[in-house]
Amino acid sequence: MDKLAWQVADGSSTRHVAIIMDGNGRWAAERGLPRSEGHRQGVEALRRTVEASRDLGITHLTLYSFSSENWSRPKQEINDLFGLLRRFVRRDLAELHKNGVKIRVIGTRAGLDADLLRMIDDAVELTKDNTELNLTIAFNYGSRDEIARAARRIAEDVSNGSVTASDVTPELLGTYLDTAGLPDPDLLIRTSGELRLSNFLLWQLAYSEFVFVDVYWPDFSRELLEAAIDEYQRRSRRFGGTSTRSAG
């Protein structure tokens, strides 16, 4: 796919793809491997996807990597997932920075170890001026939790007088979300064949196009990303109006 094809087709300069990276466990089970191996291969797919996104002119890539509900998994699996995140930051940060990737993390800090939080903060700080690709990792993230935290902060600001009740509009609420300042996703991709959001970006996906891909995340590839974008470009986005606006 021509990098520019997706960039110039309409007036907007942002191209935001959000992905629910699902199916690591089933990928491993099909091969008689432990789930941890599926997660390990999932990190490889993540690397490929970041690289392909840069090539394809995607400006914003948002990845769901650990949900607030994933705490209900066995302790060992949670340890594996946290270990992979640590290793990913340790091993890939320099390369991501060199390639102009700006890292952001959304989700709650509650329940995360201080050393992991420091690692995340350092990665965000190091890459804050990069402009090639905005990579947002949803980690310890749940959309209902995000909206509830935003509502709590608004309530605090109303009680301290810096906001009045009539100031509370969708635009204002958006500035209290973890995603404040990020454009809404144009395209949501979920792998593994599941047809649900699992508490991901409920607010931000209001008018996004959804593409469900029938492969497990470790098998996700540049070709499948291109195919999803192709499908996106054939959609007509109406945003509640009557005139059709081609997605591409």
Which residues are annotated as catalytic?
Answer: 22, 70
> Cα–Cα distance between 240 and 224 in angstroms, integer?
29
With CB cut-offs between 5 and 8 Å by kind, which of ligand IPE, Mg ion, none does residue 24 bind? ligand IPE
Question: Which of 71, 207 has the CB closer to ligand IPE?
Answer: 71
Question: Which of 22, 209 has the CB closer to Mg ion?
Answer: 22
Angle, alpha carbons 64-69-70 (nearest 5°): 70
Cβ contact 135:101 at 8 Å: yes
With CB cut-offs between 5 and 8 Å by kind, which of ligand IPE, Mg ion, none does residue 66 bind? ligand IPE
Residue ranges in 204-223 that form contacts with Mg ion under rule CB under 5 A: none
Q: In what order do the strands lie in the sheet with 16-20?
A: 101-106, 133-141, 60-67, 16-20, 187-190, 209-212
Min separation Cβ 22 and Mg ion, Å? 4
Using the rule CB under 5 A, give the single segment among 20-28, 72-80, 82-90, 219-227 that binds Mg ion: 20-28
Cβ contact 135:50 at 8 Å: yes
Question: Which of 123, 189 has the CB closer to ligand IPE?
Answer: 189
With CB cut-offs between 5 and 8 Å by kind, which of ligand IPE, Mg ion, none does residue 156 bind? none
- Helix %, strand %, coil % for the chain, to 5? 50, 15, 35
With CB cut-offs between 5 and 8 Å by kind, which of Mg ion, ligand IPE, none does residue 198 bind? ligand IPE
Binding-site ranges for ligand IPE (CB under 6 A): 20-26, 64-67, 70, 81, 192, 194, 196, 198, 217
Q: Determine which helix (DSSP H) or strand (DSSP E) holds 114, and give its type and residue range.
A: helix 114-126
Min separation Cβ 29 and Mg ion, Å? 11
Using the rule CB under 5 A, give the single segment among 21-29, 115-123, 142-150, 161-169 that binds Mg ion: 21-29
Q: Determine which helix (DSSP H) or strand (DSSP E) holds 222, and give its type and residue range.
A: helix 222-234
Cβ contact 213:191 at 8 Å: yes
With CB cut-offs between 5 and 8 Å by kind, which of Mg ion, ligand IPE, none does residue 142 bind? none
Question: Which of 67, 208 has the CB closer to ligand IPE?
Answer: 67
186 binds Mg ion (CB under 5 A): no
Q: Of 200, 158, 140, 157, give the one whose Cα is nearest residue 20.
A: 200
Per-residue CA distances from 95 to 19, 180, 222 (Å): 22, 26, 19
22 binds Mg ion (CB under 5 A): yes
Question: Which of 77, 157 has the CB closer to ligand IPE?
Answer: 77
End-to-end distance of the chain based on CA atoms, in angstroms? Answer: 13
- The residues that touch Mg ion, with contacts defined as CB under 5 A, are 22
